[in-house]
């Protein structure tokens, strides 16, 4: 594959929304040209009417080229069509026809689809082309003039089309940017495999809760969970099946959690639930419910013979003054006490789980 084609495909992969919009613009422009065909037949300008037939054909071929990812060819067809069509319209029936408005549509397209330097070079060339048409029409008369009333109607039609297309492009841009921001925010705050909050976001959410708790003191309890013998599942059945197990457990945690709880993947096969307005007793009830639900999951559709999957939970209530990392460390000690006592258990942090000094975890 030639290098320019590779670069072309690379750009299309970087800006899929732009190329999708370009395909829609092909459809809109072809529709406008069909309207022009009828208008100029009515005005008695057969040359301009049949020019629009050629334009429709060019847009149809450009649309097909976009679908085949031949973006360079499609863009060149659109540029040629607009440049030539605008010039012919202006030269044949006059500057006041407003065909020059369509040249302005190139400006956002240039800067959205090209490197900045190339976009500026072509924008300057477009400016020179625009000014050249204006100067030319100040020196010559239109070759196929129409009545002043017809010229006014054509101008209004062209202005309306360009106005609506700019409005549509702006709306599409705003929607695209908003979606991109949401997507980036989701990527920054969620675990890509399970869709739960990631470790960093769980820390941030808990710190916000703690700041609120200082103003309105309420119970804040942590539930740290770890799947039992998960390494053996990966070793025996492969990491792909292990990922499916994590996804299913994550979905169950979302279902079991309360609306005010924060559920996240803490790391590997570990999950964390931050429970506002909950004491250890309430958290233990919830943890037992989750433990039983995980143990009751049916895995036969994923892997026949896959043994029962269970988990251990460690519970700690944040105390004052205590760092978040200290509370997590106490929940972790309770969790591994449950592992040592046979797994598939829920354990609460005990006084002996308090560290001699708060050691900040690497978050």
Is residue 173 classed exposed, middle or buried when 0-12, 13-18 and 19+ CB atoms within 10 A define those classes?
A: middle
Two tokens at 42?
Answer: 């009515």
10: left (phi over 0), alpha (psi -120 to 50) or beta: alpha
Q: Which residues pair with 34 in a beta bridge?
A: none
Give the sign of the dihedral formed by CA 252, CA 255, CA 261, CA 263.
positive
- Catalytic residue flag (residue 269): yes
Q: How far is CA 68 from the centre of its chain?
A: 24
Q: Is 197 helix (H, G, I), strand (E, B) or coil?
A: strand
Residue of 81, 269, 347, 348 with catalytic role? 269
DSSP string, 101-153: GGGGGHHHHHHHHS-HHHHHHHHHHHHHHHHHHHHHHHHS--SS---HHHHHH
Cβ atoms of residues 236 and 298 within 8 Å:
no
State the catalytic residues.
269
């Amino acid at each position: 594959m030639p290098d320019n084609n590779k670069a072309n495909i690379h750009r299309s992969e970087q800006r899929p929304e732009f190329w999708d919009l370009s395909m829609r613009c092909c459809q809109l422009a072809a529709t406008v040209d069909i309207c022009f065909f009828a208008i100029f037949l009515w005005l008695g300008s057969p040359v301009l009417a049949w020019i629009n037939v050629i334009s429709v054909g060019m847009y149809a071929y450009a649309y097909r080229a976009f679908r085949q990812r031949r973006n360079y060819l499609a863009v060149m067809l659109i540029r040629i069509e607009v440049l030539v069509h605008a010039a012919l319209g202006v030269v044949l029936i006059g500057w006041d026809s407003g065909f020059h408005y369509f040249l302005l549509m190139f400006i956002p397209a240039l800067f959205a689809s090209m490197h900045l330097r190339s976009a500026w070079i072509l924008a300057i060339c477009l400016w020179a082309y625009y000014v050249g048409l204006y100067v030319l029409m100040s020196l010559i008369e239109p070759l196929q003039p129409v009545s002043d009333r017809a010229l006014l109607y054509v101008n209004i039609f062209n202005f309306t089309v360009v106005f609506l297309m700019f409005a549509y492009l702006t709306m599409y841009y705003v929607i695209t940017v908003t979606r991109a921001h949401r997507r980036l925010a989701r990527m920054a705050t969620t675990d890509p495999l399970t869709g739960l909050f990631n470790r960093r976001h769980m820390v941030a959410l808990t710190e916000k809760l703690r700041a609120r708790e200082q103003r309105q003191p309420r119970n804040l309890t942590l539930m740290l969970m770890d799947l039992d013998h998960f390494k053996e599942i990966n070793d025996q059945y492969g990491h792909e099946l292990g990922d499916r197990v994590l996804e299913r457990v994550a979905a169950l945690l979302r279902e079991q959690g309360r609306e005010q709880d924060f559920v996240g993947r803490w790391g590997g096969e570990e999950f964390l639930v931050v429970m506002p307005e909950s004491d250890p007793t309430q958290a233990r009830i919830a943890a037992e419910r989750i433990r039983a639900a995980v143990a009751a999951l049916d895995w036969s559709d994923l892997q026949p013979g896959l043994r029962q999957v269970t988990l251990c939970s460690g519970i700690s209530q944040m105390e004052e003054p205590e760092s978040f990392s200290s509370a997590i460390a106490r929940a972790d000690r309770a969790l591994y006490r449950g592992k040592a006592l046979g797994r598939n258990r829920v354990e609460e942090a005990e006084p002996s789980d308090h560290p001699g000094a708060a050691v900040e975890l690497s978050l």
